[in-house]
């Protein structure tokens, strides 16, 4: 392959499947500008996305399938769950998606119980592969669920409605009271 074959498609967020290389890799690179990163932050409901880059390649798999191998790198700002102050996190993760025609995926009957598929990388193949949608979904999955500033701990907070005594950790340990009662009875004390 020549170096021209390795050149990513410029700013192509949606790749037409019919336009993908049938005999080799189709490289891609997405690096959104500030306005696009702000839009991603709004979608993810976080204060900010400082850096965002999604690179990789799409290769044919079999006669009808495609595989996306990529790397997602981002610097995001979230709110601390304790203090609500900004917390900056660096995210670097590998991305794997396998696109196959929809008829290869089982379609559950309406109202039936279904199990999660063993291979979570499988996606139904349409006319296009939306790289931006894959990037945003992978970023949302990689975000820390409970961001905290360094050195900040959640103290013994108690929450209850007005006029209601909040439950403590001891209140939810029913056997602690039984252990105390047993100890009292073993010492010959009166249980009443």
Report the C-alpha gap between 61 and 107 in whole angstroms: 22
pLDDT of residue 170: 67
Mean pLDDT of the chain: 80
pLDDT of residue 82: 84
DSSP state of 46: S
pLDDT tens track for 7-25: 444 446 888 887 888 888 9
Question: How much is the pTM?
Answer: 0.68
Give every CB contact of residue 52 below 8 A, 6+ residues apart in sequence: 30, 31, 32, 37, 40, 73, 74, 75, 135, 139
Residue ranges per structural domain of the chain: 3-142
pLDDT of residue 8: 44
Report the C-alpha gap between 12 and 135 in whole angstroms: 13
Residue of higher predicted confidence among 122 and 181: 181
Report the C-alpha gap between 114 and 18 in whole angstroms: 32
pLDDT of residue 2: 41
């Amino acid at each position: 392959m020549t170096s021209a074959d390795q050149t990513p498609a410029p700013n192509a967020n949606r790749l037409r499947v019919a336009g993908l290389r049938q005999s080799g890799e189709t490289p891609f690179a997405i690096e959104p500008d500030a306005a696009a990163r702000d839009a991603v932050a709004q979608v993810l409901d976080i204060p900010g996305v400082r850096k965002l880059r999604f690179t990789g390649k799409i290769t044919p798999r079999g006669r009808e399938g495609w595989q996306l191998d990529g790397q997602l790198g981002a610097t995001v700002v979230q709110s601390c769950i304790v203090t609500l102050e900004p917390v900056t996190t660096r995210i670097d993760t590998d991305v794997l998606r396998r696109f196959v025609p929809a008829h290869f995926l089982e379609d559950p009957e309406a109202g039936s119980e279904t199990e999660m598929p063993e291979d979570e990388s499988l996606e139904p193949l349409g006319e296009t592969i939306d790289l931006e949608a894959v990037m945003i979904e992978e970023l949302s999955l990689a975000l820390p669920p409970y961001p905290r500033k360094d050195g900040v701990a959640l103290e013994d907070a108690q929450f209850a409605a007005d006029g209601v005594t909040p439950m403590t950790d001891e209140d939810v340990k029913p056997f602690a009271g039984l252990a105390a009662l047993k100890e009292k009875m073993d010492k010959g004390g009166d249980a009443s």
